[in-house]
Structure 1
Amino acid sequence: MSDAASLDTFNRRESEVRGYIRSFPVVFDSARGSVLHAADGREFLDFFAGAGAVNYGHNNPAFTRALIEYLESDGIIHGLDMATSAKKAFIEAFEKFVLEPRGFDYKIQFTGPTGANAVEAALKVARQATGRSNVVAFTNAFHGLSLGGLSATGSSHYREAAGVALGDVARLPFDGYLGAGVDTLDLFEKMLGDPGSGLDKPAAVILEAVQGEGGINVASGPWLQRLRRITADNGILLILDEIQSGIGRTGSFFAFEESGIVPDIVTVSKSISGSGLPMSLVLLRPGVDVWKPGDHTGTFRGNNLAFVSARVALEEYWADSALTDGVKAKSEILRTELERLAAAHPELGAVVRGRGLMYGFAVDGDRSLAARISAEAFSRGLIIETSGAFDEVLKFLPALTISEDELGRGLRIVEESLDALV
């Protein structure tokens, strides 16, 4: 192996906390669209999309051109939360292409560049706005690994790494957690109305409309609508975490849109920049925006390069329905092929679930199978990860711009990998 392709430097010097490098042990050198190139010359089709951070593909030329032009014009790179031309243009584009077409009236808060920081801000402002500290989160939720977000995250693996108690969050069952035919919100509504339940009235409820890391669990429209009614009737703020499921990932711009609800607070990150550059924001109903100046700061809450590519992404992909029409067509292909694969192997009892281009192939009977398929697929030139409480779900997260040919090639690799293992 050439020195350029060797992992020795990482093994010698990088912290043991490194994760994805263990699942995909190559040195990646370049990427374009849905193809990654390794330093040893191999090519990999990407069904991972930076864990949802590059919904429009790697090095999208529309963004690259705009970023180069901005750099060459000496545009502001670091601006904290000062006014810049790049930020102004992004806000105006977000109004035009996202807020106004949906009739949404949100203030925009720019937080530190990680999704976890957006969640921290959302939880803080909800507690400030209501004067209450308790928050309700759901089973198998993932809201980041800083302490506030971690307190609302379900995974014991991540929670145990905190090293401190994680309080002020009550956990309730997500839609479908207790099986078909059981509306888990019966419990929530009953506990809210019972002074003996032990559930302190929450400041907020936080959830993902489609749980990503938790195993591609999809909340139904009626369930979300009922949750919105319960929170509104009880003066509880509703926070939708759209960090992975948003920006077109499930078809519409936000995953909650299909249900017709309007949350009080929305957290956004990952693909909002379009280019994979770090950027996060929180959308706040005006009455919830109770911050005093400087209450939630961060040195890098003004990534102007990300503002540039985010604006271009909105202009390029959200001015018409071409992207969402394409996602709908490719979603049908993905679902049909996964259901065919499940039917071809009835002994697995596999379940297919998801929306848009966010799908899971779940095998509870053999919880090691998804990870073994991922490893086999990697050896055949496909990057695909797993999720779920036991990593029992093979997680499909290709770029929204992937071609139907690339999608088909990746699905054939998955099928070949499964056939080689069972």
Structure 2
Amino acid sequence: MNKTNMTIFEDLESEVRSYCRAFPTVFTKAKGWKMWDEEGNEYIDFFSGAGALNYGHNDDKMKQALVGYIMEDGVTHSLDMATKPKAEFLTAFQEIILKPRKLDYKVMFPGPTGTNTVEAALKLARKATGRTDIISFTNGFHGMTIGSLAVTGNAFKRKGAGIPLTNVVTMPYDNFVNEGLDSLDYLEQFLTEGGSGVDIPAAVILETVQGEGGLNAARTEWLQRLDRICKTHDILMIIDDVQAGVGRTGTFFSFEEAGIKPDIVCLSKSIGGYGTPFALTLFKPELDLWEPGEHNGTFRGNNHAFVTATVALDYWKDTTFEQSIKAKSGTVHAFLTKLVDTYSEIQGHVKGRGLMIGIESQVEGLASKVAQEAFTRGLIMETAGANDEVFKLFPALTIDEGALEKGLTILEDSVRAVLGVKEAVTN
């Protein structure tokens, strides 16, 4: 087999490409929690498509259902026409996910990406309340289109808009200033004081665990208080669960442990199950104020994604899968905690929740060096945070214990290599 010339990407693809720079090889195959390149090198995947592959690559049951549907000439593209796969997904989502959690949401299919569902949520919140402003939080990331970018904190990403990003007020996320200050005191003061200059917004939007922002996890009590503040001031709460949802933090929705019921929920990435483009916007029935076609998109209602997403919901028919995620999360958290304690040179601490977890290092550039070293050793992982100060672990939720342990060993070897430590000492 002829090898692919890497200069093709340099010569023909835009400079905007990023992940192919971090992982400079040509991938040809993927299965479960592994990937292979065209030279036959095997990699353990602790990246999982930035959270789009929570069930791993090419799940057998999803693949079988999708291939069967295609071979039967099932409808591929239908905008929002009624199709059998759509009916089956809606029914399964209602019975397996919403009803057991006592959540009453209408389901909307916007365009098939995370930023599409956020745009729909922002538009609906403004339509429902008649207000224009949105409150977002420091280090939040919600997408790359203009509305989503306006509620995103990253200065580099915001600069790319090329225009002023307006109608948004940014407030400090939990522990943004320091652990001794409850940032919601600050928010509440702005909302109640007539001289603050901050109008009551249409909504607040937040991630319960900030993925791109550095794995900052909001405390349960902080989320619960924010929920009370929103109710007091008649502000809609939008939870962006695009990356933190679908089991990534240990429960299907990342907000479940806090016991809150957001007004609007944004889902994408792993909701399609197979890596197929798919997004949902969920909202309380009283917010379903759309006129037919008022918000649409050519690729809403991806039937291939309906097929795989429905099969993926089988994982959630009982508590077994959720319990397995929590067990693996405990293993990873304990390992990372010991890593930080053992190698004080990291100057780090563990961040995140569930299998959305990593280490923040105070040593400039260390996280990126660890991720680069890990790749050379057969482990795919990325960094997060405003300055790429966090190396983060996003293994498939379905990964087996042996592969998980192997990946963690590679991670420790990579840390030792970067620090110049010869012997492993965490065992």
TM-score normalised over the length of structure 1: 0.98
SS of 2:323 mapped into structure 1:
helix
**Mapped pair 1:324 → 2:319:** no
The superposition leaves residues 267-305 of structure 1 with CA deviations (integer Å, 9 ceiling, x where unpaired) of: 000000100000001001111111111111100001000
Deviation of 1:3 after TM superposition, in Å, equals 4.3
Write the letter of the residue equivalent to 1:61: D
The superposition leaves residues 76-121 of structure 1 with CA deviations (integer Å, 9 ceiling, x where unpaired) of: 1101001000000000000011100001110000000111000000
2:300 corresponding residue in structure 1: 301
Deviation of 1:40 after TM superposition, in Å, equals 1.3
2:242 corresponding residue in structure 1: 243
**Mapped pair 1:271 → 2:270:** yes
CA contact (8 A) 1:204 1:236 kept: yes
1:390 to 379, 387, 390: 387
Write the letter of the residue equivalent to 2:408: L
Matches within 5 A, 1:14-413: 14-315=13-314, 317-364=315-362, 366-413=363-410
SS of 1:120 mapped into structure 2:
helix
Write the letter of the residue equivalent to 1:31: A
- Distance (whole Å) between structure 2 residues aligned to residue 49 and residue 94 of structure 1: 23
SS of 2:144 mapped into structure 1:
coil
- Distance (whole Å) between structure 1 residues aligned to residue 355 and residue 6 of structure 2: 32
Write the letter of the residue equivalent to 1:405: G
Count of aligned residue pairs for this structure pair: 419
SS of 1:390 mapped into structure 2:
coil
- Distance (whole Å) between structure 2 residues aligned to residue 264 and residue 374 of structure 1: 37
The superposition leaves residues 3-23 of structure 1 with CA deviations (integer Å, 9 ceiling, x where unpaired) of: 434312111100110000000
Deviation of 1:333 after TM superposition, in Å, equals 0.6
SS of 1:341 mapped into structure 2:
helix
Deviation >4 Å, runs of 4+:
none
2:424 corresponding residue in structure 1: none
SS of 1:283 mapped into structure 2:
strand
Write the letter of the residue equivalent to 1:42: N
- Distance (whole Å) between structure 1 residues aligned to residue 214 and residue 13 of structure 2: 29
Gaps of 5+ in 1: none
Aligned-residue CA RMSD (Å): 0.8
SS of 1:29 mapped into structure 2:
strand
CA contact (8 A) 1:242 1:268 kept: yes
CA contact (8 A) 1:137 1:207 kept: yes
Percent identity between matched residues is: 51
SS of 1:290 mapped into structure 2:
coil
- Distance (whole Å) between structure 1 residues aligned to residue 389 and residue 242 of structure 2: 22
CA contact (8 A) 1:5 1:26 kept: no
- Distance (whole Å) between structure 1 residues aligned to residue 136 and residue 41 of structure 2: 42
Gaps of 5+ in 2: 420-427
- Distance (whole Å) between structure 2 residues aligned to residue 5 and residue 250 of structure 1: 37
- Distance (whole Å) between structure 2 residues aligned to residue 158 and residue 395 of structure 1: 20
Write the letter of the residue equivalent to 1:222: E
SS of 1:4 mapped into structure 2:
coil
